[in-house]
Structure formats: C-alpha cells, structure tokens
A and B are shown apart, each in its own frame.
Chain A
Amino acid sequence: MTDVARGEEVGRTNGIAGQELAKSATGIQGLDEITGGGLPTGRATLMCGSAGCGKTLLSLEFLVLGAVEFGENGVLLAFEETAEELSQNVRSLGFDLDQLIEDGKLVVDYVHIDRSEIDETGEYDLEGLFIRLADAIDRVGAKRVVLDTIESLFSGLSNDAILRSELRRLFRWLKERGVTAIITGERGEKSLTRQGLEEYVSDCVILLDHRVSDQLSTRRLRVVKYRGSTHGTNEYPFLIDQFGISVLPITSLGLKHGVTNERISTGVSGLDAMLGGKGVYRASSILISGTAGTGKTTVSAHFADAACRRGERCLYFAFEESPNQIVRNMRSVGIDLQQWVDRGLLMIHSSRPSMYGLETHLTTMYREARAFNPRLVMMDPITSFLRSDGGADAEAMLVRMIDFLKGCEITSVFTSLTGGGSALDQSEVGVSSLIDTWLVVKEIEQQGERNRGLYVIKSRGMSHSEQIREFLLTDEGVQLKDAYIGPGGVLTGSARLAQEAREEAAKVKRQEDIERKQRSLERKRQVMDAQIATLRAEFEAEEQEAQRMLAEDQRREERLEEDKEDMARSRKADPQPQKAQEPT
C-alpha cells in the first residue's frame, strides 16, 4: 500500500474516533496498514491461532523490529521455548536474538512450570511472575512485552480460580505499566482461545489461521476486533519466509489512485501507432491475451525491454518459464534481456503456480515489488492462477494486486492464455474489467497456414486503431503489418504475400500500359509530322510548277503582243487606238 493510501486510512480512523488512538507500529509489512498504524499502544493485543500458524514468530518480529527500528526495547516471557531454542528458530529469518539480548535491547525469560515437581497447598498468587516480568521490563526499559503463551500456566498449575483472577490482574497491571503487549493463545474449539483469554484481553484481537485447500497451504490473518479504531476486516494472507512476515493488506476499498497523463512506449512501434501513436498510459494495466504460441510473452518482453531502455526497473514474474529460458527465447527474436538483468534493471522471478497458494504468490509478488521498486511489473501468465484456483478468489486477488500496483504508479502487464475454441471475450470476462488496455493476439488460420493477428480490444482514455494488424515475429522482434482485407476476410502470411505480389504485378502492368500509350501517341505525332512535311513538299512542288507555268504564260503573252506589233508594222496598219490615246 502506498503512503498516500495509508495516510488516508489513518486519517479516516482519526476522523471517526475523534481523537487519536496511539498506536505502536509493528514494522511488519502490511500489518500496520491493516490496523491503521499498528497495535494499540499501552494495551494488550491477543494473538490467537492454531498450532504452527506463526503466533510466536509474529510476536517476536514485533519485539525485534521494535528494538531495531523503533527504539522500543522488549521483553519476551516464553512459556514454551527456551531462549536458546527461540534464538535458533528465528535465526533463519535474520533475527539475531542473542545480539539484541547482549545489547540490552531484549530480555527473554523462559518460564517453565513442571507440574511433576510441584505440589499445591493453600493460597497462592502469581506475584512471582509479576516480579519477574517487572524485573525484565525494568532491566531494559521495555515498551513492548510478549507473553507466549500464557495459557501454559493452566497446564502447570491446577487452581483455575486463582489463575483466572491473577490473569485479570496481570492484564490490568500490564496496562498500568503502559507497555504494549501481545498475548498469544492457542485456538480453542468453541472460543478464540482454549482458556477464553479473549475475555481478559479485549482491546485488540488478531486471529491467525493456517489453512490447506487443494493441498496448498495459505496463512491468513484477520483483525477480529480493534477497540477504538477502524481496521481492515478481511482475511489477509500473510507469508513467512527468510525476510520475516509480510501481510498482504491490499484492499479494494477505494479507487482513488492518482492518474498520470504520461504515455510510455510499448516497445513495438507498430503497437504504439495503434494506440494513438504514443503507447499506453503509465500506471495502467495491460492485458495481452491469446491462444498458445501466439507471442504473448514476446510482446511483454518488448514492454520490459522498452522500460529498461528508459532506465526504469522492471519486475517480471514468470510462472511457466525459468529466467534463463526466457532470456534465451527472447534472444531468438532479437530482444536481449540479459543486458538488463546484468545491469540490475530487470529482475525475473520464476515460480510454479502450484508451488504455493495463490495468496502466498501474491504476497510474494507484493513483497518483491516493494523491495525492488519497479516501474513495470509483468505477470506471465495470470491464467495459471485462475486455473489453480476456483477463479473467483484469483480474481479478487488480482483486483487487489492491480490496485496495489496502480497505487504505486506501477504499470502492469499481464498475459493470459485463452483456450482454443472458446470465445476470447468470454474467457476473459472476469479480469477484463480491471484492465485498461487489452490487446488480443489472435491466430488466423487460412489456406493451410497459421498466422497471427493483433488487435486492440480496448484502451481506456485514448483513441486506438480498430483494425487488425498482422503480427510478425522477426529477428528484430515483433513487427506489425497492415493487414489486407480480402473478400474472405483478413489476408495474412503467404496469402498476404501473394496479394502483395499480385498488386505489384498489376502496378507494373499499369505502368507499362501508360508507357505504351505514350509511345504510340509519339508515333502518331511523328506520322502526322511526316504527312505534314510530305504535303508541304507536294504543295511547294505544285507551287513552283504553277509559278513556272504562270511565268511561261506571261512570256507567251508578251511574245504574242510583240508578234502582233511586228505584223502590224509590216502591214502598215493604223496605229492601235490605244496608241492614239498615248500622249505622243
């Protein structure tokens, strides 16, 4: 949970209670969120549960973290295990009790009552216990006390009436001392604890549970009661591992996470283009679903690669492949994840879905995410959970996980395997409502060939392409091609190639046609020009001829005239009238 969410929770608590109930942080991941800040300061908390559910461990972590992180020293009154045994038991969790004891930060007092060497006669009280406890508290100035488990007194001493009145006195006394206490109690059949301790410790009751269903064990924690404070009422899964206890407090109480307008690249340029050209929103949740072998993991690897290229940390939860296998497989499509692993930007966390229960998985993821502080978290695939669990639980947990990631402004990428044959939209109905951007990689089978197509089913808050793209796995990763829409649907693969070839041929042919037409036009023009030249030549020839004829006619005329004059002169004829007109 983020600090913001936590702040809100605390704020609300205060608002209702009117005054602040002092709380002592346990330092245990998640528990402080559920309780709105920790256990009630100066009061006793009852921690009950069946054997092996983690009561002692949780109490010890409360003490150890109190001493180490909050400067509050502690006292453990152990009725069941000696200091040495306890020290050994928790060493695997990284707690060094011996050192804390040596540093004067912790006192472990082993209280042992061996009934076989004790007889009882007459009146007594438990002042000895009080004195021991007071001594231990005073020795280190303890603020935190754990009694684990006080019910052992009932098996050591037989006078119930005395024990009960003394217990009542003890809890009152603890309150007066102002120490924050945890009393552990074994789960009873009808009541929360065998000896009905809840009767005495009424401020805060936390119930731990260790359940096995379908051969998978899950630890759960529930705050049964918290006087004077609101608290998460659900059962929260928790985890005990080498880092101690972590509780998964993720709730779906509110949809209040802030939003960002920042867009991040998916790593596939064609996909970015489909998503309005800018990719997905940061802190959104992305689902990539598809049937087996459609390249879901490759797409998510692109997301990871892109994030690492931006210098962001990326956490990859793989549930089907080992880290090395993923790195090798992605190298085959040209994505080098190893370089990011080496640089510490990418962490691949592999585990089998059946390794432990769903809650434990999610608690692990939650803790890893908090520890690694990534900007991108991937889960590949989430279907394993839906399958390993009934479905409803897995869904609820995914809601929590997505809420948690969004709250931390972490982008989440999930892949989901859809069964062949079933309608894509139906099989995902459970989770899809949580998803902001949903990509489907679809197998397209035609003409004896299987190809892949990718489309965006939805992408909240942005315009996106509605068209299917052909999805190619190349040596340089995923490439998206515009698909050809033919009469029988989308053309992909070799059908698309054939279509491309046909179109290319047609184009060449059209080009040739144009050229041919141009050539024929040119030829016609040449013919025409030639004809014009011939005509002109003929005309000129005729013209010359005509000119020559005309000139000849002229000369003949002139000669006739001369001949006429010659003849007249010879006949001594009268001069021509026209001659008389001449001024002679």
Chain B
Amino acid sequence: MTDILNRDNTAKLPSPPAEANEETWELRLYVAGQSAKSVTAFANLRALCERYLPGKYEIEIVDLLQKPQLARGDQIVAIPTLVRKLPEPIRKIVGDLSNTEKTLVGLQLRPRAW
C-alpha cells in the first residue's frame, strides 16, 4: 500500500479513458476452478467492463487447473489475477476485484490520485 502512495504520479497519462476508446481491451482472468474468489472476481470484472468499457472488451478466462502450464507465461502466482494484455503495457490486478475504484486505477481507467 505504501508503495502506491509513494509512487510518483506526475508522469501518468492525463486521460487514459480517451485513449482506451480507440481499441479493444483484451483482458485475461486467471482462476483455479470454480472457487468462490474466482467466481466473485469474474462477476465483478464483468460488471465493471459493462459499465466502463461497453462493447470494446474481451475477457478470456484461464482455468489453471485445466491448463497449469499457462501460469508461467504471465507469471501468475496469486489467484485470481486479472491481466490486461491490451492496451499495452501489461497490467496485473490480484484479488477478487471487490474494490471497483482500485480495479479501475489498476486498469488505468482512472488516474491514480485520491
């Protein structure tokens, strides 16, 4: 937490949503089976995308129980983890995405200032 607060915010993009408008968001959610946290995360992500990125997002669900070898590629340690593949750069959000504000900040849909 302290790291986030201390981070230098001056270099951030002024309006990421504007940029986001131009392309499709490729999101990947890593889960492990139908665990409660995974289900919650997916539901939260779905709601958030419908509201902030209507019509221009793709969510890919990767179940590591099915395809464990995929965990290496995106360096997945924690479950659930949301990975923003596009737009670049890659962002990761760990957790069940229950805090919408934080999730938006993590996805850079909202400036990191509060």
| B79 touches which of A112, A128, A134, A156 (Cβ 8 Å) | A128
Q: Among A115, A119, A128, A153, point to the contact of B93 (Cβ < 8 A).
A: A119
Mark out the residues of chain A between 98 and 123 whose CB falls within 8 Å of any chain B CB in the assembled complex.
Answer: 109, 111-115, 117-123
Establish whether residues B3 and A121, one from each chain, have CB atoms under 8 Å apart when the complex forms: no
Taking CB atoms, residues of chain B closer than 8 Å to A135 are: 68-69, 71
Q: Are B1 and A158 in contact (CB under 8 A)?
A: yes
Measured CA separation A128–B63 after assembly (Å): 10
The distance from the CB of A170 to the nearest CB of chain B, in whole angstroms, is 11
Task: Report yes or no: A124 in contact with B79, Cβ–Cβ below 8 A.
Answer: yes
The listed residue (A114, A117, A123, A127) touching B32 by CB distance below 8 A is: A127
A176 at the A/B interface (Cβ < 8 Å)? no
Partner of A119, one of B65, B71, B94: B94
Residue of B37, B79, B96 contacting most chain A CB atoms (<10 Å): B79
Stretch at the interface among B9-17, B18-26, B99-107: B99-107
Bound-complex Cα distance A332 to B35 (A): 84
A120 adjacent to B32 (CB under 8 Å) = no
| B30 sits at the interface (CB 8 A) | yes
The total of chain A residues at the interface (CB under 8 A) is 27
Q: Is the CB of A121 within 8 A of B64?
A: no
B106–A121 contact, CB under 8 A?
yes
In the complex, chain A residues whose CB is within 8 Å of the CB of B34: none
Whether A124 contacts B94 in the complex (CB less than 8 A), given A131-B65, A131-B68, comes out as yes
Which residue of the partner chain, among A112, A122, A153, A157, contacts B75 with CB atoms under 8 Å? A112
- Given the interface pairs A128-B30, A128-B32, the reply to whether A157 lies near B68 with Cβ below 8 Å is no
What residue in chain A is nearest B35 (Cβ atoms)? A127
- A129 contacts chain B at the CB level, 8 A cutoff: yes
Contact B32 A122 (CB under 8 A): no
In the complex, which residues 42-98 of chain B have their Cβ closer than 8 Å to any Cβ of chain A? 44, 64-65, 68-69, 71-72, 75-81, 89-98
CB-CB < 8 A to B106: which residues of A? 119, 121
| A→B interface (CB under 8 Å) | 109, 111-115, 117-129, 131-132, 134-135, 153, 156-158
Can you list 20 pairs linking A and B with CB atoms under 8 Å apart?
A109-B72, A117-B89, A117-B90, A119-B91, A119-B92, A119-B106, A120-B93, A121-B102, A122-B40, A122-B41, A123-B95, A124-B96, A126-B77, A128-B71, A128-B77, A128-B81, A129-B78, A131-B32, A135-B68, A135-B71
